Amino acid sequence: MEIEGIPKTDNIYKKFISILLLMFSLTVISIVCLVLIVRGRNEYFYKSIFAIIITILFGTGLLLLGTIFIGVLLWHEHSVSKTFRRLLGLSFTMIYPGMLFLGKLFKYDKNSIRSIFIELNNRLVSIDEYSIKGNDILVLIPHCIQKSFCPHRITTNIENCKRCGKCSIDSLIKLKEEFGVNIRVVTGGTLARKVIEDLKPKAIVAIACERDLAGGLYEVRDLPVIAITNKRPEGPCLNTTVDINEVRAAIKHFLYKE
């Protein structure tokens, strides 16, 4: 089930498959080259070292194939078993750094790579159904979503907003009033972790740039998170905005259904 209001980006999906296939091809080529090298050596030491490396590469190849398979299932909105979910978490840990490195090598934008995992996460959450009360849903927003010229700082308390309508804060407060969700402004990962520990939400809607979202998803694995990338018309960390319809759709997906 696709979350109505949150777009599904086919271009991201194609990049995801192409990079993973490239990684798998390189893994296979590496295994073949190592097998050919080890055949020409008689020393036990070299054979042992190469055997360990080949085993690791073989495991990596299987993980890549599994991740490709999960990606196809998620994109076509099929359910995913707990085993596959764990496999996706493992791939995030092991494959994500490799994808960033390979993306840099082939001049892929880092944010495109991060968007792949953000999209996959949202696909994973979208196929599940939830029934969570509003006060158990936490919406995390970055401080840069407030206009830089505004004198009413909301970092410690969103209610400091005077609701002039010049930034997205007013619209987000309206969502808080409508659905009864918790909204917190965070200035980084450390504060986000503290807020999660204090409030103990059952679901999270996170708004941030691709880097912060990918890092947060890496750390928060026990909670369902819908990650929404902010808009940056003036560049990173300055007067950012968010599509309120996407935030509303994410909240409604988690919300308790009577």
Alpha carbon separation from 221 to 88, 96, 214, 224, 251 (Å, rounded): 11, 15, 12, 8, 19
pTM of the model: 0.78
CATH at residue 215:
3.40.50
The reply to whether 86 and 162 lie within a common domain is: no
The reply to whether 30 and 93 lie within a common domain is: yes
Q: In the listed set 79, 110, 126, which residue is the last one of a domain according to the structure?
A: 126
Strands 225-229 and 137-142 turn out to be unpaired
**Nearest CA among 168, 175, 134, 136 for reference residue 154:** 168
The reply to whether 213 and 138 lie within a common domain is: yes
Percent of the chain surpassing pLDDT 70: 91
The reply to whether 207 and 100 lie within a common domain is: no
The reply to whether 203 and 158 lie within a common domain is: yes
Q: What is the pLDDT of residues 176-191, one digit of tens each?
A: 999 999 999 988 778 8
* Per-residue pLDDT, 133: 93
Q: In the listed set 99, 126, 153, which residue is the last one of a domain according to the structure?
A: 126
The reply to whether 194 and 159 lie within a common domain is: yes
- Domain assignment present for residue 98? The answer is yes
Mean pLDDT, residues 88-94? 74
- Domain assignment present for residue 2? The answer is no
- Domain assignment present for residue 207? The answer is yes
- Domain assignment present for residue 3? The answer is no
The reply to whether 22 and 121 lie within a common domain is: yes
- Domain assignment present for residue 1? The answer is no
| pLDDT higher than threshold 90 for residue 157 | no
- Domain assignment present for residue 22? The answer is yes
* Per-residue pLDDT, 1: 44
* Per-residue pLDDT, 6: 56
The reply to whether 163 and 230 lie within a common domain is: yes
Mean pLDDT, residues 108-121? 80
Per-residue HEC secondary structure of the chain comes to: CCCCCCCCCHHHHHHHHHHHHHHHHHHHHHHHHHHHHHHCCCCHHHHHHHHHHHHHHHHHHHHHHHHHHHHHHHHCCCCCCHHHHHHHHHHHHHHHHHHHHHHHHCCCCHHHHHHHHHHHHHHHHHCCCCCECHHHEEEEEEHHHCCCCCCCCCCCCHHHCCCCCCCCHHHHHHHHHHHCCEEEEECCHHHHHHHHHHHCCCEEEEEECHHHHHHHHHHCCCCCEEEEECECCCCCCCCCECCHHHHHHHHHHHECCC
- Among 93-102, 134-143, 203-212, 233-242, whose mean pLDDT is lowest? 93-102
- Among 31-35, 130-134, 224-228, 242-246, whose mean pLDDT is lowest? 31-35
The reply to whether 15 and 117 lie within a common domain is: yes
- Domain assignment present for residue 160? The answer is yes
| pLDDT higher than threshold 80 for residue 40 | no
Backbone φ and ψ of 229, nearest 5°: -75, 130
* Per-residue pLDDT, 246: 93
Backbone φ and ψ of 132, nearest 5°: -115, 135
Mean pLDDT, residues 220-238? 88
- Domain assignment present for residue 19? The answer is yes
Domain count for the chain: 2
pLDDT grade for 230, boundaries at 50, 70 and 90:
very high
Q: In the listed set 68, 100, 126, which residue is the last one of a domain according to the structure?
A: 126
The reply to whether 90 and 149 lie within a common domain is: no
Q: Could you list the residue range(s) of the whole structural domain that residue 80 is in? A: 10-126
The reply to whether 86 and 55 lie within a common domain is: yes
The reply to whether 140 and 119 lie within a common domain is: no
